[in-house]
Structure 1
Amino acid sequence: MAVRGSTARAGRPVTPADMILSAGVFAVSILFIYGKKDLRFEIPLSGASAALLLAKKRLPLVTLAGCLLFTALLAVHLRWSYPMTPATFIALYAVGRYCSRGTALAAAVGTIIIGFTLSELIANIPSYTLRNVRDLGWVVFAVLAGAWVQTQRVYVRDVEERAERAERERDEEALRRVAEERVRIARELHDIVGHALMSINVLASVSSRIVERNPGACRDAMGQIKGVSNSALREIRSTLSLLREGTAPLKNPERGIEDLPVLIEQVRLGGLPVTFKSYLDDRKIPAIVGFTVYRIIQESLTNVCRHAKDVTKIVVAIACANDHLDVSVVNDGAPATPSEGGGIGIQGMRERVTAIGGRLDTTALPGGGFRVHARLPLKETSA
């Protein structure tokens, strides 16, 4: 994992913890390091080094340079072999923590060179002693500790960002699914209510014309109206259960290819000349495919009733071929433009077909008429 170049920022505030750390470094320096020395010189230098640590987050390199300067003066005064103090240790840690790896490495090498150079230039300070080797290890340890903390912080921040992004994506996915469910419910209600009202309207019109001449046929028509309305109510309740219970009606659709004869008969009672042709073999038709076929034929016949004029022939055909099922609804009415009514029937059919991996074609025929053709895959497909 790549570590960001420099995490030091001018906007980092000085916190109470920084102040406590600086005060602690000053106290430790005076009480435990210089306690047996003359403090008139050590107190100002130690206080300046501790005060510099307040800028370690914003200016880590400047803090290290200042601490090295004050420590060098202390080394000359106290005859140290190597300029390593608590303030220098914290400054090296800050460089490793808030600077890039290259900068931290350069700072560590520079600190080592400065220390040994100082030991060589000042004759009364013994150089290359075991203390030098020990302090050299402290320099490396301080920088590595800061770099390790930086790496961990970057890792934690990346994990948090990924978690936040995943949560946002989950929320967006949930909203998308809700929108899709709303569209699906609207599509279902459009098909159910549209076909039911069309059938009821046609049957009621027929009943009003024959009520006096043929009471028996009128009673049959009223029975059909009752059956259509009851069926529509059941389907509406099933569809709306998705809102109340979170169940998906399309997983176990109530309609399928076996219900097509009843649908065709209802349309015929309404006065439409429908011919139904089935060329299915003995293979099993997936439930979602059968449901889609039912809705395509239902919506196509509803559109014919609503929009086409002077219809003399409607042919509904379904056939299995290879690994797909073809369904077509053709009428010779004029004008055969179902979209003129401003509805969403064709759009809904296309959405249904696309959802299971099929293809829908709608074509106005020369000389009048309209053709709806869908090709559906004969395999289980999630809607």
Structure 2
Amino acid sequence: MRIDRSRLHDAVLAGVVAAASVALFTLYGPDRLQAGGLPAGGMREPDPFGALLVVAACAPVAMRRRWPLAALCAGLVPETLLTLLGYGTGLSSLSGMVLLYSVASYRGLAVALGALVLSLLTYVTAAVAGPVRAASWNEYVVVTVVLVAVWGGGRSLRLRRAYLEELKDRAARLERAHASDTRAARAEERSRIARELHDVVAHHVSVMTVQASAARRVLASDPDLAREALSAIEHTGRLAMTEMRNIVGVLRTDARAELGPQPGVRDLPALVEQMREAGLATRLEVEGEPGALPAGVDLAAYRLVQEGLTNSLRHAGAGAKAVVIVRRDPGELDVRVEDDGTGPSGEGLSGHGLVGIRERVALYGGILNIGPLAGGGFEVRARFPLKDGQ
């Protein structure tokens, strides 16, 4: 069973204050005060009833945290009776200050103000109506100042506690926001890596499949040509492994930076040459000077051409031709991949590759068109907006 240490501490405090108050109440009666040269006019001799009132005034300290206002009211009643009946109060007035402090530190402003006013009114009423009068008005002023100071100390503690709680809550909110941002960044990174892997694997595997098919057909009749096809397969496989290593390497580091230069428009001639070796007659046309492009747009344009040529290689059919057109206009980059083949089926149009291309183009505010051409063939075209100076 778990013990509430705060309640235990309050009970001990109440017991100490009650014991000290009873001791002072008993030892310092009217005869002792007069013997010591102190005024004791009108005070009654200590008796068991007075001692019981002292204990009753101190006992509510044990509940000062759980029910502070009720404890204050319960303590003021016997303390007021002690004053009205002319008994000495011992240290019971100290318990009243402890309870006032507790109300100020554990309850709202309205309740705390009410407790302060109640304490002041109770003291003034008992002092005026009781048989023992204060020596001068200075005593009233001192007691009032002490009560207000105790009340102010309690309010300061409450405000500090609220401030610390707000700091903890703010830190928790910031931590949750940081965790949420981290999860979003990881999800975005996984999505980016998935797109890159799909583009790399789909392109290179398609090229290798076509080259392997060509090597199989000419293996018996033309071993030298088959050997060249196998060498091309080996070269394509090495390229695919290198690109995948660069992409997957991001997962092994905490940094989200790229681990190597990414392909771009400058690498399109090598891509077109690779497609020619795979058996797709491809031509590259560059209109205007592309110049330096934003890294994201540069990579997106390259992946679009790569996906478009891969689809042409898969679906255009034997003898089809493809053309890649890259045109740089003021404020826009136009990238097209066209072929004169039969085009992909409905399944090819909804593949993950074209979905990834749509996401890339949309990410940079571009416009994507995918579909058959009016005179036959198929087209994948994207227009990327460029800011001034790009």
Question: Which TM-score bucket, shorter chain as reference?
Answer: 0.7 to 0.9
2:173 aligned partner, one-letter code: R
Q: Is 1:219 paired with 2:211?
A: no
Question: 1:259 aligned to 2:267?
Answer: yes
Deviation per residue, 1:55-88 (Å, 9 max, x gap): 222222211111111111111234679x970111
Aligned residue number for residue 9 of structure 1:
none
- Summarize deviations over 1:304-330 as a string: whole Å, max 9, x none: 333445774433211222233221223
Give the counterpart of 2:57 among 34, 49, 55.
49
Aligned to 2:40: none
**Match of residue 365, structure 1, among 342, 366, 372:** 372
Q: Determine which of 123, 138, 144 is the counterpart of 1:136.
A: 144
Q: Report if the CA contact (8 A) 1:25-1:87 is conserved.
A: yes
State the match for 1:374 in structure 2. Answer: 382
Read off the aligned partner of 1:364 and give its amino acid letter. Answer: G
Is the Cα contact below 8 Å between 1:55 and 1:63 reproduced in 2? yes
- The 2-side partners of 1:176 and 1:101 are apart by 43
Structure 2 distance, partners of 1:249, 1:341, is: 32
Q: Distance in 1 between matches of 2:311 and 2:291?
A: 30
Answer yes or no: is the 8 Å Cα contact 1:303–1:338 preserved in 2: no
Query: What is the CA–CA distance in structure 2 between the aligned matches of 1:325 and 1:39, rounded to whole Å?
Result: 102
Larger deviation: 122-131 or 151-160?
122-131
| Separation of aligned partners in 2, 1:338 and 1:311 | 22
Are 2:188 and 1:196 aligned? no
Q: CA deviation at 1:269?
A: 2.4
Which segment is superposed worse, 212-221 or 165-174? 212-221
Counterpart of 1:154, as a letter, is: A
Secondary structure, aligned partner of 1:110: helix
Residues 317 and 285 from structure 1, CA distance in 2 versus in 1: closer, same or farther, beyond 3 angstroms?
same
For residues 125 and 108 of structure 2, what CA distance do their matches in structure 1 show? 25
1:22 aligns with 2:14: yes
The 2-side partners of 1:137 and 1:106 are apart by 17
Give the Å deviation of 1:192.
Answer: 1.2
Structure 1 contact 362–370 (Cα < 8 Å) conserved: no
TM-score by length of 1: 0.85
The Cα of 1:240 is off from its aligned counterpart by 1.8
Which of these residues, 54, 65, 72, is aligned with residue 73 of structure 2?
65
Alignment check: 8 A CA contact 1:196 1:232 kept: yes
Task: Provide the identity percentage.
Answer: 31
1:369/1:63 CA distance change after superposition, 3 Å: farther
Q: Which moved more, 1:230-239 or 1:166-175?
A: 166-175
Task: Check conservation: 1:89, 1:142, Cα contact below 8 A.
Answer: yes
- Give RMSD over aligned pairs: 2.9
CA distance in 2, matches of 1:290, 1:364: 23
SS of the aligned residue for 2:133 comes to: coil
Q: Check the 8 A contact 1:92/1:143 in 2, yes or no.
A: yes
Report the residue type matching 2:370 in the other structure.
T
Rounded Cα–Cα distance in structure 2 between residues aligned with 1:134 and 1:292:
81
Q: 1:115 to 1:80 in 2, by over 3 A?
A: farther
Instruction: Name the counterpart of 2:342.
Output: 334
In structure 1, the gaps of 5 or more residues are 1-11
- Structure 1 338/204 Cα, relative in aligned 2: closer, same or farther at 3 Å? farther
Which residue in 2 is equivalent to 1:316? 324
CA distance in 2, matches of 1:251, 1:279: 31
Per the TM alignment, residue 212 of structure 1 is displaced from its structure 2 partner at its CA by 4.4
Shift of 1:251: 6.3
- Deviation by residue 1:246-284 (Cα, 9 ceiling, x = unmatched): 454636434222221111122122232323211242632
TM-score between both structures, scaled by the size of structure 2: 0.83
The answer (yes or no) to whether the contact 2:371–2:380 under 8 Å persists in 1 is no
Out of 275, 281, 293, which is 1:285 matched to?
A: 293
Distance 1:249 1:143 in 2: 58
**Which moves more between the two structures, 341-350 or 137-146?**
341-350
Gaps of 5+ in 2: 30-45
- Contact 2:84–2:129 (CA<8 Å) still a contact in 1? no
Q: 1:300 to 1:43 in 2, by over 3 A?
A: farther
Residue deviations 1:223-251 (CA, integer Å, cap 9, x gap): 22121111111111111212223454636
Distance 1:39 1:377, change over 3 A: farther
Moved more, 165-174 or 302-311: 302-311
Give how far 1:101 is off.
0.6
Amino acid corresponding to residue 306 of structure 1 in structure 2: R
Question: Quick one: structure 1 residues 161 and 43, their matched pair in 2 at CA, closer, same or farther if it must change by over 3 Å?
Answer: same
Structure 1 residues 55 and 311 mapped into 2: Cα distance closer, same or farther (>3 Å)?
A: farther
What's the counterpart of residue 229 of structure 1?
237
Query: Larger C-alpha radius of gyration, 1 or 2?
Result: 2
In the alignment, the residues of structure 2 paired with residue 134 and residue 250 of structure 1 have an alpha-carbon distance, to the nearest angstrom, of: 74
Partner-residue secondary structure (3-state), 1:328 = strand
Matches of 1:327 and 1:341, distance apart in 2:
18
Describe the shift of the 1:302–1:249 C-alpha distance in structure 2 as closer, same or farther (beyond 3 A).
farther
Answer yes or no: is 1:209 the counterpart of 2:201: no
Q: Is the aligned partner of 1:185 residue 2:177? A: no
One-letter identity of the residue aligned with 1:47: V
Mapped contact 2:50–2:87 kept (Cα < 8 A): no
CA contact (8 A) 2:14 2:58 kept: yes
Assess, with a 3 A threshold, how the Cα gap between structure 1 residues 60 and 120 changes in structure 2: closer, same or farther: same
Q: Does the C-alpha gap of structure 1 residues 177 and 225 become closer, same or farther in structure 2, counting only changes over 3 Å? A: same
* Distance (Å, rounded) in 2 between the aligned partners of 1:338 and 1:252: 36
Q: Which residue of 1 aligns with 2:354?
A: 346
